[in-house]
Structure 1
Amino acid sequence: MPQLNKNTDYEKFQPVKISSHEAEVINKPSLSFWQDSWLRVKKNKAAILSLVALSLLIIMAFLGPFVSGKDFDSQNVSHNNLPPRIQGLENVSWLPFDGMAERKNGTQYDAYEMKKVEEYYWFGTDALGRDQFTRIWKGTQVSLYIAFLAAAIDMVIGVAFGLASGYFGGRIDSFMQRIIEILVGIPNLVVVILMIIVLKPGILSITIALSITGWTTMARVVRAQVIKYKNQEFVLASKTLGASNLKIMLKHLMPNLVGVIIINTMFTIPSAIFFEAFLSFIGLGLKDPLASLGTLIDDGYRTMRLHPHLLIYPAVIMSIIMISFNMLADGLRDALDPKMRD
C-alpha cells in the first residue's frame, strides 16, 4: 500500500459516491445487430474502399454508355483500331491518352492525324470502329446483370432447398441431399453446352446454366445452419406454443440465417462474373453486337501486341470488380459472424 506524506490531498482518496439512479444510466445508445455490424464494417478500410469502388463501377455501368454520346454497336470502319485519346490530355506524352499508335517496327505515329479523325475516343476503338468506352461500360452492365440475376436465383432456390432439407431432416433430408450430390457431379461447362444446344447463345442460356448447379453451395450452408438452430430453445418454445412449420422457418430461423446468406451471395457474384467471362473467352458466351467483359477481353487478347488498349481496360475493370467483391465479402463475414468478433 502506498505511503501518504503530509502534502497529500486526502480528498482525492475518498470513495466516489454515486446514487443508484446514476449507476443505472446507460451512457451509450443501444445498437441493433445490423447497426453493430455496420460499425464493424466501417472499421475495415478494405471493405469500405471496395464498397466505394463497386458503387462507382455500378453507376458507370448504367451511365457510362450515355456519356460519350456514341452507341455501343455503331460501326465506323474508317475509325478502326484507334488508340485512346482524351481532350486536354493528348499533349501529355507520358499518359496513354495522346492518340499515338505503334507500328510493328516500333515506330510511333499519330493515328488520329493519319486517318484524319477529329473525334475523341477515350478508350479507343475496336477493329470495326466501335467506341470502346461505350462498349466497356455496356459490357460491365451485362456482366453485372448476369451475375446479380444468377446470384438472386441461387439465393432463392438454395435458401428454400436448404431450409426445408435441414428443418425436416430424416428421409426428406437424405433424399434432398442426394439430389444435390447428383447436381454437384455435373460440370458447369457440360450444362452450358447443353443449354446452348437447346437454346441460342446469350444471356438466357448462361443464366439458366449458372442457376442449375450454382445454388448447391448455398443450400448446403443454409442446411448446416438450420440443423444447428432447429433444436435450440426458441424453436422448441415456438413448437410448444403451436406455431406451424412454415412460421417457424420464416419467422424464427430465417432472421438467424440472413448473415450467412448475404456472405455467400457476395462470394457468388464474382464467381458468376468470372464464369461468364470464361464462357465468353472460349466462344460460348454472348454474340455480337452484345458485349460483356469476357467478350471484350477475348477480342483484346487476339490483338494485344498491336492494340493493347483493347485488352487492358476491360481486364482492369474486371479485376477491380472481382477483388472488390471478395474484399467486401471478407469484411461482411468478419462483421456478421459472431465467431470473428474482436
Structure 2
Amino acid sequence: MNRDIEEIPKERFEPAPPNEGEMEKIEKPQLSFMKDAWLRVRKNKAALISLFILGIVVLMAAIGPYLSPHDGYAQDVTKNNLPPRVPGLEQIGIFDGTQTVGGVETNKYEDMNIEEYYWFGTDSLGRDLFTRVWLGTRVSLYIAVLAAVIDMLVGVIYGLISGFKGGRVDNVMQRILEIMSGIPNLIVVILMLLIFEPGIMSITLAMVITGWIGMARVVRGQVLKLKDQEYILASRTLGANNNRLLFKHLLPNLSGVIIINTMFTIPSAIFFEAFLSFIGIGLQAPAASLGTLIEDGYKTFQFLPHLMIIPCILICVILIVCNLIGDGLRDAFDPKMRD
C-alpha cells in the first residue's frame, strides 16, 4: 500500500548551535573539601547550637574568674556554705539566698548581715563557687585539649607509619600497641603517682603513655585501605617518595577521620579527669577542676545540693555538646552518611 511519506529535512537532526554565553557560565562555585564539609555541618542545627554553647563555655572559662569580685582560693569560714544569690533575680524569689535547714527556710545572708553577692554560693571553706567552677572548667578543658593534641601528634604518626610500612614493621608496632592497651589507664595513673605527686602532671603522663592508642588503630586501618588506591600507585610510579605519599596524599584523605575521632576524644578525656579527681587521685586541694568540685559537693549533697549540681550540669553540658559536634562532623566527613 502506497502512502505519501513526508521526508524530514536533515537540518532538524543537526545539534543546536552552541550558545557562547551558556558555555562559559559556571553553574556552581568550586568547593574545597573543607568548605563542602562546613556546608554540611551548617545543615545540622544540633551541631551548630552545640558549637555555639561550647564557645560560650570556653569564653567563660577564660574570663569567668575575672567577672566575680571574689577570689576562688580565698577562704573565709564565716561565709561558708552560702546558697546562691544573684542581684536582680532575688527580687522575683529565685536565687535570693534562702535555703531550708531542718525544715525551716532561712536566709543566711540576712542573718549574718552579708551584703556581698555569691552567684553560685560558697563551699565549706567560704570560697566563691562561681570563680572555682570556671577555674575548674579551665583545667578540664586543658586536659581535653592536651588529649586531642596527643592523639593528633602521636596517634596519627604512629598509625600512618604502621599502616604504610606494613609487613614486619606493622606486626611489631601492633604487638606493642596490644601490650600497652592491655594496661588500664587507672593502673598507669597509679604508677605515675609513685613518681610524681597527684595532679595534672600524672594525668598528662598517663595520657601520653596510653591515650593515643585508639587513634593509632583507626588511622592504621584507614591507611591500609587507602595505600593501594590508584592515585597512590600513580604517585609512586611518578617517583613520589614515602614522605610525599604520607603527608601529601594519605594524610589529607584521613583528615575527616582524624577530626571526628579527636572530637570524640575530648569528652572522654574530660570524664577521665573528673573520674580521677572524684576518687581522689587526680588534682589535689586547693586546685579546682570539675571532678574535685563534684567530689566536694558529693559529701554534702543532701544538705547543700547546689555544690554538686552546678559542676555536674556544666560537665554534662560539655560532654553532650562535644558528642553532638562529633556527630555533626561525622555526618559531614563520612561519605556514607551524606544525603
TM range (shorter): over 0.9
In structure 2, how many angstroms separate the alpha carbons of the residues matched to 1:21 and 1:229?
41
Shift of 1:123: 0.2
- Is residue 91 from structure 1 mapped to residue 97 from structure 2 by the alignment? no
Counterpart in the other structure of 2:213: 216
* Structure 1, 44-53 or 30-39: larger mean CA deviation: 30-39
Q: How many Å separate the matches in 1 of 2:43 and 2:147?
A: 30
Find the counterpart in structure 1 of residue 152 from structure 2. Answer: 155
Letter in 1 for 2:73: D
Q: CA deviation at 1:247?
A: 1.8
| Residue in structure 2 matched with residue 25 of structure 1 by the alignment | 25
The aligned residue for residue 79 of structure 2 is 79
Question: Which of 93, 101, 104 lines up with 1:103 in the alignment?
Answer: 101
Report how far residue 19 of structure 1 moved.
2.0
Q: 1:17 and 1:243, CA in 2 relative to 1: closer, same or farther beyond 3 A?
A: closer
Q: In the TM superposition, what whole-angstrom CA distance separates every residue of 1:2-49 from its partner, at most 9, and x where no partner exists?
A: xxxxxxxxxxxxxx9872541552222121111111111010010001
1:193 aligns to 2:224 (yes or no): no
Name the aligned partner's letter for residue 199 of structure 1: F
**C-alpha distance in 2, partners of 1:183/1:312?**
36
Q: Return 5+ residue gaps in structure 2 as ranges.
A: 1-15
Letter in 1 for 2:96: D
Whether 2:309 is the aligned partner of 1:332: answer no
Find the counterpart in structure 2 of residue 323 from structure 1.
320
Identical-residue share of aligned pairs (%): 61
Q: Does 1:141 align with 2:133?
A: no
* Paired AA for residue 144 in structure 1: L
Matches within 5 A, 1:256-335: 256-335=253-332
What's the secondary structure of 1:146's corresponding residue?
helix
CA distance in 1, matches of 2:74, 2:153: 38
Letter of the 1:81 counterpart: N
C-alpha distance in 1 between matches for 2:71 and 2:208 = 31
Q: Tell me the residue number matched to 1:70.
A: 70
The code of the aligned residue for 2:148 comes to A
Distance, in Å, in 2 between the alignment partners of 1:114 and 1:300 is 24
Counterpart position of 1:11: none
What is the Cα deviation at residue 232 of structure 1? 1.3
What is the aligned partner in structure 1 of residue 164 from structure 2? Answer: 167
Change (3 A) 1:18 1:102: farther
1: CA distance between counterparts of 2:160 and 2:87? 56
**Who is 1:49 aligned against?**
49
Aligned twin of 2:35: 35
1:174 partner amino acid: N
What amino acid is aligned across from residue 103 of structure 1 in structure 2?
V
**Paired residue secondary structure (2:99):** strand
Of 113, 116, 119, the match for 1:119: 116
Deviation at 1:267, TM superposition (A): 0.3
Calculate the aligned-residue CA RMSD, in Å.
1.5
TM-score in terms of structure 2 length: 0.93
Separation in structure 2 between the aligned mates of residue 227 and residue 309 of structure 1, nearest angstrom: 51
Structure 1 segments, 4+ long, off by >3 Å, are none
